[in-house]
Amino acid sequence: MDAIDERMGISALSYPVPEHANRIAWTLGGITAVSFVVLLVTGIVLAQFYAPVPEVANQSIRDIENTVWAGSFIRGIHFWASQAMYVTAVLHMVRVFVTGSYKKPREGNWLVGVAMLGLVTFAVFTGTVLKWDQEGFEALGHNVEIGNLLGGVGLWFSPAFSDQIPILLRLYGAHVVIIPGLILVLLILHFLLVKRHGVSPHPSLPAGASGEQASAAEPTEPLTRHIRRLVTFGLALAGILGILAVLLPAPQGPSPVAGIEVTKLPWMFWWPFTLENWFGLSAIVWGEVVFFVILVIMPFVDRNSNRLWRRRPVAMISGLAVALAVIVLTVLMAITPTEMHL
């Protein structure tokens, strides 16, 4: 190890991790990263057999399910890992919010996180279109209509952008290269910033405690021990994903029929879809824009230097209001029959 380290400088990446960072709530970011790795590996396998061409895309997924060795299992793991990545990224963000860990000097890393959340959402969306069943086709319909609505800004989302390459192929390129590539670059930056600032001290420590002051108040351990714990959580997650992939295989419907609207997008998009039911297509755009603007401005609006949730009533009530709005709109979509929009 010393010989490798001397040549590769691996130990330069290490930093002391406070004990509270081993609690499950503080390892959610790491668990999100594990899901991302699972998605990369299973995605590379799926890409060997998926055909991103409208005429055969749906059939190629059926072939993965029925003729590729362990194809259904690998696809199931990919599907469930995408759900896990989305859920753990949101829960990780909630932890960072509740413990006030986005406050100075971590505002920049919060923004990197917001960008990654946007990319994860876009990855779920493009992945849904790739199935090229009724759900994927209707998702694409919304994609195209929103592109038209945005005019010049939305041109990339419209089939008119490229005469030669079908939009399915361009969304496939986004799904397998552009989005994961950007997430990877941002993830490296995210990790380097966590190393630079250290994991935020426990919020019960005096405001502003960091570095030596915080380490004096709480014991630390080397990053390698923290990573060992993460590997344990990661293996547990892999086991859960495996069980889900067997018991509940990834959904796939028959080839799409144009001109009807009978599906709902994946549940992550239900809250903007309720807005669409009420106010029309543009509400999806405004809903998402407002949501992400709230996330972006959060560290700059919340100037209270306290990080303990009990001493931040305004931030807590505002956060709860946003979370409640998203949950209520999601539940409303779950109980509302599908409506025609396009």
Q: How far apart are CB 96 and ligand HEM at their closest, in Å? A: 5
d(CA 57, CA 133): 9
We find the least distance from the C-beta atom of residue 114 to ligand HEM, in angstroms, to be 4
Residues 153-212 touching ligand HEM, rule: CB under 6 A, are: 187, 190, 194, 199-200
Q: How far apart are CA 189 and CA 177, in angstroms?
A: 18
How far is 171 from 177, CA to CA, in rounded Å? 10
312 binds ligand HEM (CB under 6 A): no
- Distances 140 to 125, 143, 261 between C-alpha atoms, Å: 9, 5, 12
In the set 39, 81, 116, 174, which binds ligand HEM (CB under 6 A)? 116
Nearest CA-CA partner of 334 in 270, 268, 277, 269:
270
Single out the residue of 46, 120, 174, 241 in contact with ligand HEM (rule: CB under 6 A): 120
Q: How many residues bind ligand HEM (CB under 6 A)?
A: 28
Q: With binding defined as CB under 6 A, does residue 117 bind ligand HEM?
A: yes
Which two structure tokens, joined as six digits, stand for 72? 């259904």
137 binds ligand HEM (CB under 6 A): no
- Strand bridging mode 220-221 / 17-18: antiparallel
- Residue 55's φ and ψ, nearest 5 degrees, are -65, -30
81 lies in the binding site for ligand HEM (CB under 6 A): no
Contact 319, 97 (CB under 8 A): yes
Residue 214 binds to ligand HEM (criterion: CB under 6 A): no
Q: Report how far Cα 193 is from the mean position of its chain's Cα atoms.
A: 19
Task: Pick the stretch among 107-115, 144-152, 243-251, 284-292 that binds ligand HEM (CB under 6 A).
Answer: 107-115
Binding site for ligand HEM (CB under 6 A): 26-30, 32-33, 36, 89, 92-93, 96, 101-102, 106, 109-110, 113-114, 116-117, 120, 187, 190, 194, 199-200, 295
